[in-house]
Amino acid sequence: MNFLSSLDDSGAPSGAPTALAFQAAEPGEGQRWSTWPATIPSERGPEPRPDWLVTSAAAIDTELGVVKTGKEANLHLIERAIPDAPADVPGNRVLLAAKRYRTSEHSDFHRSAIYTEGRGLRRTRDVRAVAKGTSFGRAVARVQWAYAEFDALTRLTELGASVPYPVQVHETEVLMEFIGDGRVAAPRLAQQRADAATLRDLFQQVADFMRVLARAGLAHGDLSPYNLLVHHGRIVAIDLPQVVDLVSNPQGFDLLHRDCVNVCDWFTRQRLECDGEELFGELVGEVGF
């Protein structure tokens, strides 16, 4: 008996479990095949990877709506799932946040050069195009910022900092862990109205996050209560494409100082004693070179 004659009508070997049947589902409107198989290893999150990550080529990505819009990027919610597979089994279904840097037709994309000092582009053509602000240059910049965010998330994950796990990056889209419950995103620190004990704990978590970065010679560069999420009492930092190297960026320490002032100003307004200058001094003493 040859191989073809041993297949049943579903395409699975006769007597084989139905789970081995070829995937019959096709993406519908607002869906696509999972883009995970098309990414190269350097475009995927660091190992060890979480058990909830869906890596099957049979998975389908379903658009669930926009979580947040911005001048430079929109944040979408997608479900990556293997059709008909048990949803409660890790690796079969997960909600992900898709940050997509906007196209030239729908964006006034801009980023201050203060963040990019000390960084470089590999090709001189790209450098010239970005500097001139041509349509090609703007496209290069969007891809550059997407990969910068992915690289920052990857490095900070490896350092043990509290950030969303970076799943993958491709062109202008960064897929990452969705921080929230169900389809509802976790609230921002700016939305918190907490008692003194809770505020002290939250401040300590923010300071610890900044300390992890400082020890690696980094600063967030744009830290505020609006890009810090609070999920079940845990601080999670987001919006990281502008992370700066404190050594190679001549404005690095100024940006670190601004982060300290922004954070402490908010906590002070919540009636928690906090000194931005004191925090800055502590972090400078932690900076690794």
- Active-site residue, selected from the candidate residues 61, 126, 239, 259: 239
Q: Are 117 and 251 a contacting pair, CB within 8 Å?
A: yes
Mean pLDDT score, 51-60: 96
Give 284's contacts (C-beta < 8 A, 6+ positions apart): 214, 253, 256
Average pLDDT value for residue range 18-27: 57
Helix (H, G, I), strand (E, B) or coil at 174: strand
Question: pLDDT band for position 12 (50/70/90)?
Answer: very low
Q: Is 208 a catalytic residue?
A: no
Query: Exactly one of 126, 222, 254, 265 is catalytic; which is it?
Result: 222
* 239 assigned to active site: yes
* Digit-coded pLDDT (tens) for 265-277: 999 999 999 999 9
Domain boundary assignment for the chain: 31-181, 186-286
Using the 8-state DSSP alphabet, how is residue 102 labeled?
P
Say how far apart CA 104 and CA 287 lie, in whole Å: 38
**Portion of the chain with pLDDT greater than 70, in percent:** 78
- pTM here is 0.82
| CATH label, 186-286, candidates 1.10.1200.10, 1.10.510.10, 1.10.3720.10, 3.90.25.10 | 1.10.510.10
Letter string b/e over residues 126-147, b meaning 16 or more CB atoms within 10 A of that residue's CB: beebbeeeeeebbbbbbbbbbb
Task: Say which residue the tokens 């845990």 belong to.
Answer: 234
**Mean per-residue pLDDT over the chain, rounded:** 84
Give residue 288's pLDDT band: very low, low, confident or very high (50, 70, 90). confident
Is residue 252 within 8 Å of 114, Cβ to Cβ?
Answer: no
- Fold for the domain defined by 31-181: Phosphorylase Kinase; domain 1 (3.30.200)
